[in-house]
Structure 1
């Protein structure tokens, strides 16, 4: 088993992908909209992935709601964007309740089709002049509210047997560029980063998994994005924030990064990431990523095993119909 996660091309597992999974042995697989058709199809695909790998490997997805929702109508509900919880709520406690309910319902959807890791919550606190790539994916501009509502969402996922991945550590909220397309550079002082950007992650440092940010923080390391920076990962993510869970990269195929795909993987692992993520399903890129990813062992393996504890324990009782009624009644008020 190697320290990477890969994507697939389509609705079914093709022969070359099956061989790749068998030979490269990624820790897990991530699904996107291109992989999603209907519930029965996803259930077959997740079963085929695990059959090819010869183990019950984690299957991940980005199911946030709003703009980032891989499973959607007509087979699944359209979940609201994160920012809508505070708009729908009469008070702070209700906003957290709605985030918990939404995530718990998402967990129910995902487990029904064999998906057990969700790249949620987004704990970025967007600045007024930041790029819209985060925008309403954030729970609030107030870092304390981001922390509280995001934590509730993470708890909802875990109650439903789905492991959360908080993103994008240590914070994408000030970025004035979309890291899918270019490298964002944040020039804020460390004191300001600690007060706002890092704070929601520090409040949930005990969560099982996090995804890195492809963002340069000049006050920490002006030479490399966080994903590839020993200073950002060692001094901030593991040090100041205190996160000791499984740290995966954001997608290595994003244009914020440069160099060969093998170099990207090796540099991310060398900087302190536990697992590298490659999403687009292009095996011409995926093979060198796999070559650059080491065997998953030692502290990284221990973190990976611990990260899946909530997936393996019995799922808490949950009345789906009643939760749906409560959630819909509140959210329809701001539809």
Structure 2
């Protein structure tokens, strides 16, 4: 617990807050400057914003809420998931594609290049501004892979070990070429977690981190992001505020890094944000009592609003990790997790529909958030803030 006491002293002293705030004023610091390792925000207790709801057009509000959701579905063709077509018609924000179904291990959305290209085309025809997202990190986390007709890709760990700008650019161009060929618009990458624990089942063991060295992470992530941007594909830095020291995978268990996390794990996020390289930031379901004594990062106002937005100065969209992950559903349940995530400042809620498969996920979540606004637990203005930020992730249509 020595590190925990040290971090708390830094938080109370305000030293870290000042350092991060100074480091995010403009983009001049860039990816080449190192912030102090103690650069971490002073957390405040999360308090949901409660204001009496005003009169509103319910149909319009439902569409705006739906636009903040990304969902996974079973089907190689859109007609196999009619509920998705209905959700898109009603304003759904986006979809996430998977190669395999977690429960059945059957093909989910990607059987071949021709098939998935046709699927994405039908999705984009249903809504030209629909976010079509995927996890295409490279290596073991690649939904487009040799099993469904795409080239094998090197992992971030392999790329970080080479640490060559030309190698990284060529690797990223390969990833992006496949993404553009099928029509994907948002890639949940790069992973910018520091490889603090090589035995981490969620990061280290899977080769998902460029390095334990922040310089290597920032250098290679910057190159990867630039290649994505040149092709018009948005990216998402993950997993804020750092999952590299975890000993559990948040998809299947609670990952508590309270004793192992170090403030230096914020460095890649801070530097990439300062350089203007963050299209979005994905917040993990990691429990870090150094930053919030009770709630995981994805549900914590102290982490999302006070630290990420306030101290690191991030103004763009914040994306959730899978809202059906065991790490949060086992304790909070889906509806309360959604309420807490929105109150914390998360903008785009992702439901992979892998842990459980729920064709009613959109209608039930929209109704639940609508009730939060009616009750005054959330305001309509809070919803509109997220709508405006998420708009930056949408294709132009």
Equivalent residue, structure 1, for 2:325: 254
Of 115, 132, 151, 1:59 maps to 132
Q: Under a length normalisation based on structure 1, what TM-score does the superposition of the two structures give?
A: 0.83
Q: CA deviation at 1:284?
A: 4.2
Equivalent residue, structure 2, for 1:159: 230
Against the structure 1 CA distance between its residues 278 and 178, is the aligned structure 2 distance closer, same or farther, given a 3 Å change threshold?
same
Q: Counterparts in 2 of 1:17-96, with a 5 A limit?
A: 17-22=83-88, 24-33=90-99, 34-52=108-126, 54-73=127-146, 75-87=149-161, 89=162, 92=163, 94=164, 96=165
In 1: Cα distance, 2:259 partner to 2:83 partner: 43
RMSD, aligned CA: 2.3
In 2: Cα distance, 1:118 partner to 1:293 partner: 26
Aligned residues: 302
Unaligned runs of 5+ in 2: 1-62, 100-107, 371-379
Structure with the larger strand share:
1
Equivalent residue, structure 2, for 1:208: 279
2:177 pairs with 1:108: yes
Q: Is the 8 A contact 2:348 2:390 kept in 1?
A: no
Against the structure 1 CA distance between its residues 4 and 152, is the aligned structure 2 distance closer, same or farther, given a 3 Å change threshold?
same
In 2: Cα distance, 1:22 partner to 1:250 partner: 21
Higher relative contact order (CA 8 A, sep 6+): 2
Q: Counterparts in 2 of 1:174-323, with a 5 A limit?
A: 174-188=245-259, 193-195=262-264, 197-205=265-273, 206=276, 207-258=278-329, 259-280=332-353, 282-293=358-369, 298-308=384-394, 312=396
Q: Is the 8 A contact 2:95 2:132 kept in 1?
A: yes
Q: Is the 8 A contact 1:179 1:215 kept in 2?
A: yes
In 2: Cα distance, 1:232 partner to 1:122 partner: 18
Q: Structure 1, residues 119-141: CA drift from partner, whole Å, max 9, x if none?
A: 11000012236522101100001
SS at match of 2:343: helix
Against the structure 1 CA distance between its residues 22 and 121, is the aligned structure 2 distance closer, same or farther, given a 3 Å change threshold?
closer
SS at match of 2:327: coil
Against the structure 1 CA distance between its residues 157 and 292, is the aligned structure 2 distance closer, same or farther, given a 3 Å change threshold?
farther
Q: Under a length normalisation based on structure 2, what TM-score does the superposition of the two structures give?
A: 0.71
In 2: Cα distance, 1:129 partner to 1:122 partner: 15
